[in-house]
Amino acid sequence: MLSFDNIIQQLFYRWGSIAYRFRFILFIGPILLTIALSFGFLFIKRQTTIDPEYVFSPKNAQWRYEKKVLSDYWPLNEQEFWPGKSYDYTGYLDIIAAGIKHPKFGRPNMLVLKYLDELERINQHIIHNITISVTHNNMTYEVGFTDLCMSYDWKCFMNEHVTMLMPKERWGNFDPKLAEFTDDIINNEVKITYPIGWRGTEPIYFGALIGAPHIIDKEGHFNYVRAVRLTYNVRDEKIGNISYLWRKKVAGFLSDVKNPAS
């Protein structure tokens, strides 16, 4: 009866004989195989992408044609940008804010002033306090949202809808001489309705900014929302790498467990 040691010895002896007989093939083979397999690195970016358009959609998907039509006829313009109206833009960061769910009563009403105040505090901190250092011509600059933002008529979208959801007396402090005039504007020109509100002739797309509203009349007024969206749209072309770093820093601020944003 062969012992285990004898079996191992015979296996190694036979393998040694084979390796000696085909030594040239066994020497060249791994080198050629390594070279052949290394060509896979040419496709590694595509194969490891997390882009849902590539991962989940076939090349001939109908939406690709529709998106191309929209992009061709309504191309992205960084100086004429309005959130929610672009179909060819990826340089954004969205925050969906909702209160902690109560086991009996569900999500609280985000229209309660303490929640809106907290949202506005976070919003203002992101806009004015989160910056990244950028070096150019041996000079270091602190770059923030207002330096990177997409704009309309050179004005950034700064989530003004949070203020619009607050009581009207919180919308601003007006000079007494303008109080009557501004009160008329607020009452007649500003409409907080779903899915579209109005600030004069400027539409506010509440359908994309609030979640699960409770509509109370035919005009679309609401007295409850489950969630509120904050959106930060930064340029994604020439300075896309800087915008990416800024978005990454904002994400780090929001996900910080030791020093939570709220």
29-81 pLDDT, tens digit each: 999 999 999 988 888 877 777 677 777 888 888 888 888 888 888 877 777 77
Please name which of 247, 84, 235, 242 lies closest in space to residue 159, comparing C-alpha atoms.
84
Q: Residue 175: what pLDDT?
A: 46
Q: Is 247 helix (H, G, I), strand (E, B) or coil?
A: helix
Measured at the alpha carbon of residue 129, what is the angle toward residues 165 and 173, in degrees to the nearest 5? Answer: 40
Domain definitions of the chain by residue range: 4-45, 77-255
What single string gives the DSSP state of each residue in 102-141?
A: BTTTBSPPTTSHHHHHHHHHHHHHHHHH--EEEEETTEEE
| DSSP designation for 26 | H
Residue 138 token pair: 């041996």
Q: Work out the burial of residue 107: count CB atoms within 10 Å of its CB; fewer than 13 is exposed, 13-18 middle, 19 or more buried.
A: middle
Task: Say if residue 92's pLDDT is above 50.
Answer: yes
- Read off the pLDDT of residues 238-260 as tens digits, 9 standing for 90 and up: 888 899 999 999 999 998 888 88
Q: How far apart are CA 228 and CA 162, in angstroms?
A: 8
Least confident range from 93-107, 139-153, 167-181: namely: 167-181
Q: pTM (2 decimals)? A: 0.70
Q: Pairing relation of β-strands 151-152 and 139-143?
A: unpaired
Please name which of 220, 218, 219 lies closest in space to residue 210, comparing C-alpha atoms.
220
Beta bridge pairs of residue 190: 199
